[in-house]
Amino acid sequence: MATMEELRRACRACMKCELGKTRTNLVFGVGNEQAKLMFVGEGPGEQEDLQGVPFVGRAGKLLDDMLAMFDLKREDVYIANIVKCRPPKNRDPLPDEQDACYPWLEQQLAVVRPKLVVCLGRIAAMRLIDPHYRITQQHGQWLARDGMEITAIYHPAALLRDPRRRPEAFDDMKDIAAKLKALG
Ligand code: URA
């Protein structure tokens, strides 16, 4: 099986969809390759595209703050996205772009083999949990699949837009941190 570095190198040359033409940098993933907890976002934004690292903009700062509330750091988890290249003007990644990119995420999951997977927002949840996923109703619910437990929480960008949702996200994060702790 390929190592994460080999995958990253191969992905750097990826032109399987149109997003490859407009990326500044590939945003493959970051964090601990042996993490028990993996976060999956939607796709890189402007800052991520410029720096080649997921969740480094305002939403990323909020994610870091949420992790810190439960004594977690980026280095304790692995963070990736459904699509590895920035969609123009931060639009949602199109279904065929997600399809083209998904095998990279599958290979990342195979390397990390996390016990817990947390989708950040609706797009990731629709891809990883259920195409009809309703984040307002289903966030925080767990599903077991392929030796992993999967859930979704509000995307940090949604929490920036609507701070009233933060208490629910805090509760979900508390549950995630407790599950992680129980894993030892
Ligand atoms: N939003 C995402 O979904 N992913 C990132 O990497 C940054 C912002």
Q: What DSSP line would sit under 81-119, residue for residue?
A: ESSSSPPGGGPPPPHHHHHHHHHHHHHHHHHH--SEEEE
Share of the chain above pLDDT 70, in %: 100
Distance 110 CA to ligand 1 centre (A): 21
* d(C-alpha 108, C-alpha 27), whole Å: 13
Residue from 19, 42, 127, 153 to probe ligand 1 pocket by mutation (most atoms less than 8 Å from CB): 42
**The predicted structure's pLDDT at residue 51:** 98
* d(C-alpha 39, C-alpha 151), whole Å: 10
Could you list the beta-strand ranges (E) of the chain: 29-31, 37-41, 78-81, 116-120, 143-145, 148-153
Q: What is the CATH number of the domain that holds 154?
A: 3.40.470.10
From the CB of residue 21, how many other CB atoms can be counted at a distance below 10 Å? 9
Counting atoms of ligand 1 from 1, which one is nearest the CA of 47? Answer: 7
Residue 184 in domain: no
Residue 19 in domain: yes
Residue 182 in domain: no
Dump pLDDT digits (tens) for 115-137: 999 999 999 999 999 999 999 99
Ligand 1 pocket member 81 (CB < 6 A): yes
Counting atoms of ligand 1 from 1, which one is nearest the CA of 82? Answer: 3
Dump pLDDT digits (tens) for 142-168: 999 999 999 999 999 999 999 999 999
- The pTM of the full predicted model, rounded to 2 decimals, is 0.98
Domain extent, residue 119, equals 4-177
Residue from 55, 58, 74 to probe ligand 1 pocket by mutation (most atoms less than 8 Å from CB): 55
> What is the length of the chain?
184
Residue 183 in domain: no
Ligand 1 pocket member 42 (CB < 6 A): yes
Per the DSSP assignment, residues forming a β-bridge with 31 are 78
Is 40 within 8 Å of 30 (Cβ atoms)? no
Answer yes or no: is pLDDT of 1 > 90: no
Ligand 1 pocket member 45 (CB < 6 A): yes
Total domains, the chain = 1
